[in-house]
Structure formats: C-alpha cells, structure tokens
Structure 1
Amino acid sequence: MIHTLTLNTAIDMNIFCDPLQPAAVNRTRQTEYCPNGKGVNVSLVLHHYQQPTHVMGIFGGFTGRYIVEELRKQHINVTPAWVAEPTRINIFINDGSDEYKLVNPGARIDDEGKEQILHHLQCVAPGDYLVISGSLPPGIESRFYSEILVLCQQKGCEVILDISHPVLRQLLEWRPLLIKPNDDELKEIFGLDVSSPRRVREAMQTLHQLGARNVLLTLGAQGLYFSNGAQLWFCSAPKIELVSSACAGDAALVHSSAIGLTQTIFPCPGAGQRHRR
C-alpha cells in the first residue's frame, strides 16, 4: 500500500482570465476547484493509474470537508485528522500568457492534530510506503518529521520525502527510499548547483553520500533526472501549452515511486552513462 501524508492540505482555485489590469474589474472566463496538497495530488495520480493508495492528512472546516468528500467520491480511502480552523485555499491565475500563484500558509495546528496524525500512522505495515509531501502548516515544527520517520522505521514502512524544508538535509540520515528535490531546493538546502549534466552527477553523488537511496530531481520545463546511486537517467519534458503547473512534480513522483521511472527514460550521456532507448 502507498500511503500519502499531507500536513498542509488545500483547495486549489484555478482561475482563467484575460491579462490582468490594475485598478480594474478583471472578470474571469472560467474557475475550477480541486482537492490539493502535494500528498493528496500523489494519491490522485496513483488512483488515476489504478494503484492502491490511502490519504492521510489534516483537514478543517468547510474546505476540509470538501476535500475529503471529493476524494471519497472518487473511491479514494481517506483518514482525516480534523482541526478547528478551515483548510486553506490557494489561487492559481492563468491570464493566457502568465501564471500567478497565491499560496496561503495554512491553518494553525495544535497538539491534538499532531496526535491524531501519529495515531493514524499506526496503520502502516512492513512492505508499505509512506509519501510525506508538502509544506508544514503553522503550529507544527520540523522535528515532527523525525517522529514520523522513527515510527515508520519501527513499522518497517519505506519513506519517500518531497519536502522543501531545510530539515531535509538532516532527515537523509534516516536513509529514505527516495527524495524529490527541484533545482531551487537543492541550491537552498544543500548549496548544490545543477546547471550542467556534470554538476547534476556530482550533486546526486553528494545526496547519496548524505543518505538518500534514490533521488528524483525535477527541473520543470527542462525535464528531470533520476539516480539510484549506480546509474543516472534523464527525461526531457514535452513542449505543451501551460494550463496549470500544479501537480506536475507530484505526477513525476508517482511515476518514479510506483509505476517505474526506469522503464520510461534512458541513461544520460552527459552524466557518464551510455545513451540508449
């Protein structure tokens, strides 16, 4: 079973409009709402590919109920930790040429919310996977990640990390199965430059030395790299019309962890591997 944990869930409000004008009434052409939060996104993509998945996370108010109800309508198993404050709403505006992202910090979480999460995590079992993905909401400190990793290690559950918090460097000591940084996160958290294939290879080696067993590096429109410590693969990104960038990295994470990234890409010649299809 692939469990996902989203500590800072959200509703995505996607707005499509003409180019924005200041000090004017900007009318929209279309508005869409969807459940969000990086772990929630992972489960949605897993479900799309008919992979069994279980959503765990923190939800509150009418917005939290909306997310849980929408997931259950799709027959996705959800175990919510309920809190008093409403779950946040994030806004993505596409004006035909540019995308604007307005991301809220999220509801403040008290000790009861954290205790609910630790209680729900008791369900993980040997052979399971837990994808911890997304940001920390107000009220939860970074040491909570370590509590979760201790529990998973005791239960024999493999952990996949997709977090942008500086504590990621310390968490590599737990030897997670996979981490999924992007280029900005590598620079900010580890001080690593990935501006060329050679530097990507060097960065991957550093991450493996720090404890990461597998690394998926996403570069947006430039594609992605995957390393298992022995080989390095590269996959280019197709040129498409941007509707929304939300969930793109989460979809890549699903392919690497559940569907088999090495079946769809080929070793990177610039990283010292033979180019083959």
Structure 2
Amino acid sequence: MIYTITFNPSLDYIMQVPDFKEGETNRSVKEDMYPGGKGFNVSTILQRLGYQNTALGFIAGFTGQQIKKELAQRGFICDLCELEEGMTRINIKMKGDKETEINGNGPFISQKKLDELISKIDTLKKGDTLILAGSIPSSLPDDIYEKIMDRLKDKEIRILVDATKQLLLNALPYKPFLIKPNLRELEEIFQTEINNQKELISYAKKLQEQGAMNVLVSLGKDGALLIA
C-alpha cells in the first residue's frame, strides 16, 4: 500500500481579481475552493493513475470536514486524525495581473493527536511506500520527518520525501528512496546558481552522496530530471 501524509493541509480559496487595488474594495469575477496540501495532491494523482493509496494527516473544524468530504469523492482512502479544537487553515489566493497569497497558520496539534498519527504509521509493513510531502505546522517538532523515518528504518519501507531545505537535508541520513527538490530549492541548498544541465546533475548527485537513493529535480515548464 502507498501512504501519503499531509501535516498542514488547507482549504484553498481561489479568487479571480483582474484589477486588484490595494486599500480598496475589490470584487472577484470567479471563485473556486478545493483541498490543498502536497500529500493530498499526490494521493489524487496516484488514484487517477490507478494506484490505490491511503491519505494520512490532520483536519479540524468545519474547514476540515469540507476537505474530508471533497477528498472522499476522489476515491482514495482517507484515514485522517480529527483535531478537537481549531480549524484547518484557509489559504486565500488572488489571481489577476499578479498573484497574491495569504496562507493561514493552521490549528494546534497536541501530543495526543500526534501519537494517534504515529500509531497509524506503525501499522505500515514491509513493502509499503510512505510519501512525506509538504510543510509542517509550527505546533509539530521540526524534526518530525526524521523521527518518522527513524521509527521505520528497520521495516523495509520505501520512503519518498518532497520538502523544503532543512526538512529535506535532515532526511538524507535515513537514505530515502526518492527526494524531489525543485531547481530553486536545489540552488538554495547549495547556495549557488545553476546555469546548465551539467551543473544540475552535479548538484543532484551531491544529494545522492549524502544519502538519497534517487533524486528527481522538478523544472517547472521544462519538466523534470531524474538522477537514479
């Protein structure tokens, strides 16, 4: 079974505002709302490709219930921890001549609820795949990825990591099966500017030397490059 974790999901509220004016009343011409979070996105794509999977994570309040409802329609299994207080954050994205985002902070996650998630992770068995993707809320320890990988290190579980700089680097000693930085993140990790494919491959291989088995660098409109 493939499992994904979304630690800090959101309900994304998209507003089309063609001529946004700061400090004035603006009216949108179109609105959309959908669940946000890298883990949920991965689960959605896997399901569309025919791969059954289970989405883990945290939800809270009426926004969390809306996310749960919409995810259920996508066909994959949702085994989410429901928080007793607060609400899943709302991210507002205004699209016009420029795109402006206001991202919420997210609810507090207690140790009790974190333990509930860990108990679900403990049921993973040999041959399963776990995808750790996206940011973590401020109420969780910043080494949560490492703690999960350390907990699973002897169970022969394939782990994939899609995270920003420090979360990604801290995961490398646990030899993840695949990591997925984008070009900008790769430049940030090595504090350099990458100008061509040769340099790109060189820096991706440095991440392999630090522990990653495979490195997939996403390149936006130019696709992606896999170093295996």
Does the alignment reach a TM-score above 0.5? yes
Describe the superposition over 1:69-115 as per-residue Cα deviations: whole angstroms up to 9, x where unpaired. Answer: 211133321111122220111122211x3322222232222211211
Aligned residue pairs: how many? 227
Deviation at 1:5, TM superposition (A): 0.5
User: How do residues 59-98 of structure 1 correspond to structure 2 at under 5 angstroms?
Assistant: 59-83=59-83, 84-95=85-96, 97-98=97-98
The 8 Å contact of residues 130 and 159 in structure 2, kept in 1 or not, is answered as yes
Question: What is the alpha-carbon distance in structure 1 between the residues aligned to residue 119 and residue 104 of structure 2?
Answer: 27
Query: Offset of 1:179 from its aligned partner?
Result: 0.4
Measured in 2, the distance between the counterparts of 1:74 and 1:35 equals 11
Q: Which residue of 2 aligns with 1:223?
A: 223
Q: Distance in 1 between matches of 2:128 and 2:9?
A: 22
Distance 1:132 1:49, change over 3 A: same
CA deviations over 1:107-127 (Å, ceiling 9, x no partner): 222211211110111231211
**C-alpha separation in 2, matches of 1:22 and 1:100:** 11
Are the equivalent residues in 1 in contact too, given 2:165–2:188 (CA < 8 A)?
no
Identity of aligned residues (%): 28
In 1: Cα distance, 2:118 partner to 2:210 partner: 27
Query: What value does the CA root-mean-square deviation take over the aligned residues?
Result: 1.6
- Superimposed CA distance per residue, residues 124-144 of structure 1 (whole angstroms, 9 cap, x where no aligned partner): 121111110010101111222
CA distance in 1, matches of 2:167, 2:51: 30
Partner of 2:6: 6
1:210–1:12 CA distance, 2 compared to 1 (3 A): same
What is the SS of the residue equivalent to 2:176? coil
- Residues 186 and 193, structure 1, Cα contact 8 Å, conserved in 2: no
Q: Which whole-Å CA distance do the structure 2 matches of 1:189 and 1:82 have between them?
A: 34
Query: How far apart are residue 219 of structure 1 and its match?
Result: 2.3
Give the 5 Å matches for 1:166-177: 166-177=166-177
Alignment check: 8 A CA contact 2:59 2:81 kept: yes
Q: Report the CA distance between 1:153 and its aligned residue.
A: 2.2
**CA distance in 2: counterparts of 1:225 and 1:104, whole angstroms:** 32
Structure 2 counterpart of 1:130, one-letter code: L
Quick check: 1:28 aligned with 2:28?
Answer: yes
Cα distance in 1 between the residues matched to 2:190 and 2:7:
23
Distance in structure 2 (CA, Å) of the matches to 1:127 and 1:155? 8
Matches within 5 A, 1:49-198: 49-83=49-83, 84-95=85-96, 97-198=97-198
Q: CA deviation at 1:64?
A: 1.0
1:194 alignment partner, SS class:
coil
Secondary structure in structure 2 of the residue aligned to 1:43 = helix
Worse-superposed segment, 162-171 or 134-143: 162-171
| Distance of 1:72 and 1:182 partners within structure 2 | 30
Q: Structure 1 counterpart of 2:171, which letter?
A: L
Quote the residue 2:42 is aligned against.
42
Cα shift at 1:165 = 4.4
Give the whole-Å Cα distance in 2 for the aligned partners of 1:193 and 1:206.
15
Which 5+ residue runs of structure 2 have no aligned equivalent? Answer: none
* CA 1:31–1:163: 2 relative to 1, 3 Å: same
